[in-house]
Amino acid sequence: MGFSQVIDWSNELRNDYDKWINHGRNIAKQSCKHKNKDDPDTFNMEYCRYCEECGYSEDSQEPMMNFGYPLEMGVPNDEKIKEIIDNTNCTIMENEESGESFIVLTGGGMDLSQDIALAFTIAEKWIPSDLAREVCTQYGLSISGKNWFRLMEMCKQSLKNEIGHAETQIKRIDEVVKKARGKK
C-alpha cells in the first residue's frame, strides 16, 4: 500500500514519546467505568491498566507495526475513535509537533488490510483507492458480520469513484489530443 508512511514506533515512542498522543489508549482509559476491587477509589484502567469487563488493555492500544496511514481530515471525534478501537486492530496516533494524525496497527502477523480499511471508513467515511484495491475479501479474516459487509460496500464505492475519475481524465486527454491534432 503506497499511501502508508514508515514510522519506527519503538524509536519514536522511546525517544520522542511526548510529541505523540495515542488517542485510542486515552479513549480506552476514559471509557472504563468499572471500579477496581482492590482499590474502589480507582477504575480498572487507572489501577492495573486492564479491565476484563471492558476488554480494554492499555497495551492493546500500542502501535505494533512500523507504519502509519495518514488521515486527511485529522483526528476523528471520540465516538469514532472508540468505534475504531472496539472493531479493529488499530488506534489513532497524533504527532503534536507536525499536527499529522495516523491510523496505526496495534496487531500484526497476518493481513490486517480489513482493519485498516474499516478504520478509514469509520474515521473519514471513505477508503483510499490504493487500499480498496488491496483489501482482502475473505469473510472473517479479521473483520466479520455487519462490519465486513459495510467494509465491502465501502471498497466497492471507492473503486467505482476511481473508475469515474479515470474515465473523466481519459475524456480530458482525448479532448486535448483532438485540439492539439487540429492545430497541426
pTM: 0.80
Please state the φ and ψ torsions of residue 10, each to the nearest 5 degrees. -60, -40
What is the arithmetic mean of pLDDT over 70-92?
94
Which contiguous run of DSSP H or E holds residue 79?
Answer: helix 78-87
Give one DSSP letter per residue of 37-70, joined into a string: SS-TTSBHHHHTSEETTTTEEGGGGS--SSEEEE
How does pLDDT run across 139-170, given as a tens digit for each residue? 999 999 999 999 999 999 999 999 999 999 99
Buried b (16+ CB within 10 A) or exposed e, 25-62: bbbbbebbeeebeeeeeebbbebebbbeebebbbebbb
Residue 43 pLDDT class (50, 70, 90 cuts): low
94-145, pLDDT tens digit by residue?
A: 999 999 999 999 987 778 999 999 999 999 999 999 999 999 999 999 999 9
Q: Residue 15 and residue 26: Cα distance in Å, rounded?
A: 20
